[in-house]
Amino acid sequence: MVYMSKPLSALFAYRTMHLLLVMLLAMLLQSCSQSGPVPINTEHQSVNRNERVRLLVLHYTAINWERSLKALTQPGATAVSAHYLIPESFDPTYPADKPLQVYQLVAETQRAWHAGASRWEDRSALNDQSIGIELVNLGWCHQRTVPFAEPGNNELCLTPDFDPAQLQLLANLLKDILARNPEISPTRVVAHSDIAPSRKQDPGPRFPWQWLANQGIGAWYDNQTLLKYWQGIKAMPDARMVQRALQRYGYGIVVTGEWDLQSRDVLLAFQRHFVPNRVSGELDPETVAVLWALLEKYFPDSLNGPENLALTLE
């Protein structure tokens, strides 16, 4: 039998204890790494919440497929993107061996940079709460710096008809998005020009909003209600009343009581969407009738009660 001196015995015990501690720590670390996700109890769900996505914004690219794809996916002087891009038929820059299809460029759970400075209802900076869809279309619009006195002659839009195959892809995509996002009500399917009327004109007055509405997508007025207002208006409402009505529908207009430049820009956007045969930026009986027909359909409470936006009809 070999006997150790006391110093050697103490050193051996110290090293043995250190080794045991190292092994114990390694076992604990291994146990933590294998423990998996932290258990989460979801028994108590708050009712104080809503969906993050509540707006659909439609655009046109004004450039062909090849340039659109590059602009929306690659770095550039101005960084832009969209959740979806839909090409059009007979575009010579689109690959001939590929069927027309929807391209997702940004996941819906992520923020795409498509809206810019924007406002709808009580929200601004709408990239945070919207899905943006770009349609390849070579349209563009230009407004006169000094407006003509005659309504209907103040905007020049050279917008080709939208491709029926492209539109059907769009409709199918929108139905899918709407089914998954209940916060997107009909009046929250909007044009880029609706949310940024002083900067944008897309998708222009030739985009078929009524066709979409006939498929259950977005807002449109009822013809009989439109006729009721068009025939029954005794006098044109003043600027303040029209501004309040546009604001109630969703437009980011400031109620000033004056028919100012912002009012003209917002009315142009409204007319492109709902009165494309009268894109003038000026009030007329048809535009007023359409606006109030929409309020009656989607915001009937605004016509009575505190808001009191009801028009006097004959």
Active-site residue set: 134
Instruction: Give the residue from 186, 243, 194 showing the smallest Cα distance to 212.
Output: 186
Across the strands, what pairs with 130? 55
Using only C-alpha atoms, the chain has a radius of gyration, in whole angstroms, of 30
Instruction: Give the residue from 204, 243, 228 showing the smallest Cα distance to 293.
Output: 228
Nearest-angstrom CA–CA distance, 275 and 206: 10
Side chain identity, residue 88: E
Burial letters for 190-215: b for 16+ Cβ neighbours within 10 Å, e otherwise?
A: bbbbbbbbeebbbbbbbbebeebeee
For helices 239-249 and 285-298, give the axis angle rounded to 10 degrees.
Answer: 40
Nearest-angstrom CA–CA distance, 244 and 254: 8
Nearest-angstrom CA–CA distance, 95 and 19: 66
Nearest-angstrom CA–CA distance, 62 and 53: 26
Nearest-angstrom CA–CA distance, 193 and 199: 7
Per DSSP, helices labelled H in the chain are 6-33, 65-73, 164-180, 192-195, 209-214, 223-232, 239-249, 261-274, 285-298
CB 268 within 8 Å of CB 281: yes
What is the maximum alpha-carbon separation in the chain?
121
Nearest-angstrom CA–CA distance, 95 and 44: 52
